[in-house]
Each structure stands twice: as structure tokens, then as C-alpha cells.
Amino acid sequence: MRQRLIPALWVLTAMICSACARQAAPVPEKEEVLRLMKAVADHQIAHPTGHSSANRDFPMGWVPASFYTGVMALYESSGDEKYLQQALNWAESNAWQPGPRLRHADDHACGQIYLELSALVPEQADITAIRAVYDSLMADPLPGRVDWWWCDALYMSPPTLARLAAVTGEKKYLNYMHDMFWDTVHFLFDREAGLMYRDEQYFYSRTASGQKVFWARGNGWTMAGIVRILQYLPEKDKKRIWYENLLLSLSASIVPLQGDDGLWRASLLDAAEYPAPESSSTGFISYALAWGVNQGLLDRDLYSPVIFRAWQGLVSAVHEDGMLGWVQPIGKSPDAVTFDDTQAYGAGAFVLAASEILKMIGPMEQDRK
């Protein structure tokens, strides 16, 4: 098992052990996980989130793209062709185009789906436009903290670049990604808390009780983005260990902040500020933790109770019709949320988490036999 703990993580590891001891959660049944994946995805497909010009969202924008990252994972998990076709239909309805803003990472997220489809159905896919975006940006580069100035961007654009490098075989896209990603992390990472600020306006913000402001979904975006980079980053890449160590660090910092119900709160260091649970952050965090366990990067015995407790919490957020509740609306900071709030990115996060939890269950079932 590959485990690389940077020195500062040893104290945090003890905190994780304490958090894990709170309450064990049962190992979920594989069939039930897959059923819920389909139920949540099918509800979102039948009830697509509307697009808002106020939030600069587009048919190919970050909101639907975040959902379709989950749809692709559901196709991989289930082998059900209808999900592959659904993703193809969406890409074709967008004419395989990115969003209209050249430099905005949100408008690049759709490229993850286009590039994954190009590996599955190359005769139907068209990656010309998304490739042209990055060629244009590389011809006129700006620092990561300028173009990717908010931590959500680390889910939207870097994983697209990692996939583009894998599809084209051109390392220049990885070099560009490395430079941009790490400049952003060095700008937004708080070493004391071991967490990511959403953007620089929160460097000196404090909650009413005096805590630093760290947004749960922003940190979930970052953790999930790292995972989606590592899935396509060559094992021999010298910077791979940098991403792995950042995932280790964020994981160790965020686990002790999990609620007793398995769900994280919108304001990580001040749960009382917005005490309602938040499911989209929980989905992305669980996805990253489960992937880390499945890859041998995170300790299975240490993290499995956290992940299964999170899954239990996520299941409690699913309405009878498959709608995922407790999804904080579009925003940039911790805010209030209700059981009836839902968004496409929440459904995407739920399905991504379930796809990795399915992989965790397999070896455990073998151990029980």
C-alpha cells in the first residue's frame, strides 16, 4: 500500500482516529448503492436545473458539466448504455463547444465529458474546440492565481487538461496545468487550518464566533479536482506526489470536521454558523476519500468509517422521488440550505461518491466470504 504522510499530518491522523471512533456505520449493500445512483441521476435527467444568466451558467456550463461527470461515472459503474447515450446527447446538443468565456475555468469543465467520450466513441466525439481553448490560453498565459483565482476552478479546468494530455499524448498540457494549479494552491491554501480559502476575499474574513471562513463545497471541489487529475496523470510524472500529498493533507484536515450525521456543514470551522447539513460538499469529499482508499493512498481502516458514515448521511438526503436535498444553492461562501434545495452539481457529486464506494465494497465482500 502506498502511503506517504507528510510530517504535519501525524497529529491530524490522531484526530481522524478520534473522529472515526464516534460511531461506526454499516457497509452499504452494493445493489442498494447502484439503485440510489440511478435514482438520483434519473431524477436529475428528468428535472434538469434551469440555466441562469445571473450566475453566468450556460447549457454547457459548470452546473450541467458537474452533473455529467457523475453520469460518466454511472455509465462506468453500471455498463448501462442509456447513460452513455445521455452524455452523448448532451455533448451533441452543445455542438461539443466549451462555454463562451475563454479564460474562465467554469466554461472548461464540459471538456472533461467531451474528452472521456472521445476515448469511448471517437467516431462521434469532437475535441477540436476544447483543445483550441487551451492552445489559445497557452499562447497568452497568466498565473494560476489570476485565471484560476477561486478554488472551485481546480475542479473545472485542471482535470480537463489532464484528460487532454492523455488523449493527445502532448505533455505541454500537463506542464501548463502544473504551473497553473500550484500557483493557485500556493495562493489559497491556509497552512494553519490545512484547508483552501474559496478566494482571496476570505483571507481576513471571520465568522461571528471569530473562526476563519472555509467553505465546505469549495474544499470539496478542490479534493475532487485532485482526484480527477490523478486519474489521468502518468505514474511517472514527477509532480504526481505533490497532488497526492495535497489530497492527504486536505483529507486529514477535513475528516475531523464531519458532523455526527455523516454530513459536513457549509462553514467548516464554524458548524453553528449554518447548522444544516450540506450534501454537495459531502458528495465531493466522500468521492475523493473513497478514491484515495481504493488507490491505496488513504488508509482503508482509518477512512472507511468516515466514508460509510458520509454515505449514510447522503442517503438520508435523498427524497422518495430521487431528488437530492440539502444542496446549498449556487454561491461562493457558506450559506443556509434546506432539505428541499437541490442542484445538478449535488446530484453529480452524489453519483461520483457512490461510484467509488461501490469499488470499496467489492474487496470487503470478498473478505466476508
CA gap 348, 281 in Å, rounded:
11
296: region left, alpha or beta (phi > 0 left; psi from -120 to 50 alpha): left
Alpha-helix runs per DSSP H in the chain:
9-20, 30-46, 62-78, 81-93, 110-120, 128-139, 144-147, 153-156, 158-168, 172-188, 216-230, 240-254, 279-294, 300-316, 344-368
Which residue reads 472548461 in cell numbers? 108
Q: Which of 152, 199, 270, 341 is catalytic?
A: 152
CA atoms within 13 A on the CB side of 330: 18
CA gap 44, 172 in Å, rounded:
36
Sign of CA dihedral 298, 304, 308, 309: negative
- Which residues on neighbouring strands pair with residue 318, listed in sequence order? 324
Query: What is the distance in angstroms between the CA of the first residue and the CA of the last residue of the chain?
Result: 22
Which grid cell sits at 124?
Answer: 462521434
Q: 195: helix, coil or strand?
A: strand
Q: 151: helix, coil or strand?
A: coil
Q: Report the greatest alpha carbon distance in the chain.
A: 58
199 catalytic per annotation: no
311: region left, alpha or beta (phi > 0 left; psi from -120 to 50 alpha): alpha
CA gap 60, 43 in Å, rounded:
19
Sign of CA dihedral 235, 240, 244, 245: positive
Give the Å distances, CA to CA, from 157 to 23, 78, 236: 37, 27, 22
With vertex at residue 97, the alpha carbon angle to CA 92 and CA 101, rounded to the nearest 5 degrees, is 150
CA gap 340, 147 in Å, rounded:
34
Active site amino acids: 152
